[in-house]
Amino acid sequence: MSLIYDGAIQDVIDSFAKLPGIGPKGAQRIAFYLLSAPKEEARHLADAITTLQEKVRFCEICGNVTEESPCKICSDPRRDRTTICVVERPSDILPLDRTGQYHGLYHVLGGVIDPMAGVTPAKLRIKSLLERLKDGTVTEVILALNPTIEGDATMTYITRLLDGSGIKVTKLASGLSVGSEIEYADEITLGRAFAGRRSTDE
Amino acid sequence: MSLIYDGAIQDVIDSFAKLPGIGPKGAQRIAFYLLSAPKEEARHLADAITTLQEKVRFCEICGNVTEESPCKICSDPRRDRTTICVVERPSDILPLDRTGQYHGLYHVLGGVIDPMAGVTPAKLRIKSLLERLKDGTVTEVILALNPTIEGDATMTYITRLLDGSGIKVTKLASGLSVGSEIEYADEITLGRAFAGRRSTDE
């Protein structure tokens, strides 16, 4: 006596349930919301999804997502062209740029070295990074990779590649995040906070 | 120096962030997922959303969502036509039916009486419920509304309306925890609630 939803509803539920962070219950909630939503809103959502892959491509220089290649950042004349900040994914660029502390260029690796998952250096955008460094304009490469085992290993790998190139290679400071509590911080974070301690005069 | 995403990405993020249960971070995660998803998957999602409102309508008898009216349940000859189970929303029907404890018909009220939110009895599908009871086939009405203050008030209201009609009016057993929602309850709890239903006079 079990019953499933009619085709179109179940199709929407199944399609949404495939998306990251949405389970079957959440997908069902969305389907019923869309059913009673203004026709315009549902249509706009469908159009936005269709347009996404048509319009958005990857910047031929930095690998960021963009509608025009080169992207806005790569083609912005006000940007400091002596620095490149290397990130794992395009979605890392916006939060870093919002800090207002960095005005240079970016380079998207497309991941980190992870042999267990089959991600070798050749599968990352490392070759194109080296190409960008050839003409001598860039004097500093900031490795802004996530502080995971794979991220650290990738930073070590790139640092070695650039050994003797004369280019300064740095990484983001590791330590306590603002608003966190020492009592609840993990040992590795606290260890790095100790190691990176600075004079209180700075 | 703040930067936002290019039009098409931001549009997808904004559109998804409007859906229930999806925040701005979740919407961003989905947008980047869709960007690198197989073209077919993104297209299928967009098509499913577009098709939804085109194909799905409400059953002229019970108010359930359906692609054909009358719906599958109302037109199923194996269904017990002496019982109608009254629910708030179409999404309540599937979990109730899955219990296998109930083989009758349904009736979607479209909400519960809530004067503060402007929902008067006239805005609910109460009149069409009374129409369905006129020919004397139905001998029991099960009120399967969410056990909230408004749900209880609505059950009392309908019970009074049917006073003296000779129709037995029951409600689901309070195996449901107060404040919970039928849509999200598990099958066993709902099955017990069916089995333990009591007269609303008690």
Q: In terms of domains, do A124 and A192 share one?
A: yes
Domain residue limits at A143: 75-199
- Look at residue B130 and tell me if it is in a domain: yes
Nearest one of B64, B124, B29, B161 to A35, comparing CA atoms: B64
Chain B positions in Cβ-Cβ contact with residue A58 (cut-off 8 Å): none
Residue of A22, A49, A57, A83 best to disrupt the B interface, most CBs of B under 10 A: A49
Q: In chain B, whose CA is at the least distance from the CA of A90?
A: B32
Q: In terms of domains, do A30 and A121 share one?
A: no
Q: In terms of domains, do B97 and B144 share one?
A: yes
Average pLDDT of A41-52? 93
Which residues partner with A57 through β-bridges? A66
Average pLDDT of A44-53? 93
- Look at residue B2 and tell me if it is in a domain: no
Is residue B170 classed exposed, middle or buried when 0-12, 13-18 and 19+ CB atoms within 10 A define those classes?
Answer: buried
Instruction: Give Cα separations from A13 to A32, B4, B43, B46, B93 (angstroms).
Output: 9, 30, 15, 12, 16
pLDDT band at B94 (very low <50, low <70, confident <90, very high): confident
Q: Is the pLDDT of residue B2 over 50?
A: no
Q: Give φ, ψ of B25 to 5 degrees.
A: -70, -45
Residue of B30, B36, B49 best to disrupt the A interface, most CBs of A under 10 A: B49
Q: In terms of domains, do A113 and A173 share one?
A: yes
Q: In terms of domains, do B47 and B81 share one?
A: no
State the pLDDT at residue B200: 73
Across the beta sheet with A168-171, the strand order is A104-108, A80-87, A140-143, A168-171
Contact status, residue A142 vs residue A158, Cβ threshold 8 Å: no
How many inter-chain contacts (A to B, CB under 8 Å) are there?
Answer: 174
Q: Is the pLDDT of residue B111 over 60?
A: yes
Q: Is the pLDDT of residue A132 over 90?
A: yes
Nearest one of B42, B187, B184 to A46, comparing CA atoms: B42
Residues of chain B with pLDDT > 70, as a percent, come to 94
Dihedral angle at the C-alpha atoms of B36, B42, B43, B48, nearest 10 degrees? 180
Contact status, residue B128 vs residue B163, Cβ threshold 8 Å: no
CATH number, domain with residue B111: 3.40.1360.10
Average pLDDT of A102-114? 94
Q: In terms of domains, do B188 and B125 share one?
A: yes
Q: Give φ, ψ of B21 to 5 degrees.
A: 85, 0
- Look at residue B149 and tell me if it is in a domain: yes
Chain B positions in Cβ-Cβ contact with residue A71 (cut-off 8 Å): 6
Q: In terms of domains, do B19 and B97 share one?
A: no
Is residue B167 classed exposed, middle or buried when 0-12, 13-18 and 19+ CB atoms within 10 A define those classes?
Answer: middle
Average pLDDT of A129-148? 93
pTM equals 0.73
CATH number, domain with residue B38: 1.10.8.420
- Look at residue A62 and tell me if it is in a domain: no
**Lowest-confidence region among A82-96, A134-148, A180-194, B60-74:** A180-194
Contact status, residue B104 vs residue B83, Cβ threshold 8 Å: yes
- Look at residue A69 and tell me if it is in a domain: no
Average pLDDT of B48-72? 92
| Nearest chain B CA: its distance from A29 CA (Å) | 7
Q: Is the pLDDT of residue B160 over 50?
A: yes
Convert A118-157 to b/e letters by CB count within 10 Å (16 or more is b).
Answer: ebeeeebbbebbeebbeeeebeebbbbbeeeebbbebbee
Cα–Cα dist A5/B189, whole Å: 21
Q: In terms of domains, do A51 and A82 share one?
A: no
Q: Give φ, ψ of B162 to 5 degrees.
A: -95, 0
Average pLDDT of B19-39? 92
- Nearest CB among B21, B53, B56 relative to A39 is that of B53
Q: In terms of domains, do A87 and A46 share one?
A: no
| Nearest chain B CA: its distance from A65 CA (Å) | 8
| Nearest chain B CA: its distance from A125 CA (Å) | 16
Structurally, chain A folds into a number of domains equal to 2
CB contact under 8 A, A65 and B30: no
CB contact under 8 A, B103 and A1: yes
Chain B positions in Cβ-Cβ contact with residue A62 (cut-off 8 Å): none
Q: Which is it for strands A140-143 and B65-66: parallel, antiparallel or unpaired?
A: unpaired
Q: Is the pLDDT of residue A130 over 80?
A: yes
State pLDDT tens for residues A79-101: 999 999 999 999 889 888 888 88
- Nearest CB among A35, A49, A98 relative to B46 is that of A49
Average pLDDT of B89-115? 92
Q: Is the pLDDT of residue A1 over 60?
A: no
Q: In terms of domains, do A157 and A125 share one?
A: yes
What ipTM was estimated for this complex?
0.75
Q: In terms of domains, do A177 and A139 share one?
A: yes
CB contact under 8 A, B73 and A3: yes
- Look at residue A169 and tell me if it is in a domain: yes
Q: In terms of domains, do A102 and A180 share one?
A: yes
- Look at residue B62 and tell me if it is in a domain: no
Chain A positions in Cβ-Cβ contact with residue B92 (cut-off 8 Å): none
- Look at residue B64 and tell me if it is in a domain: no
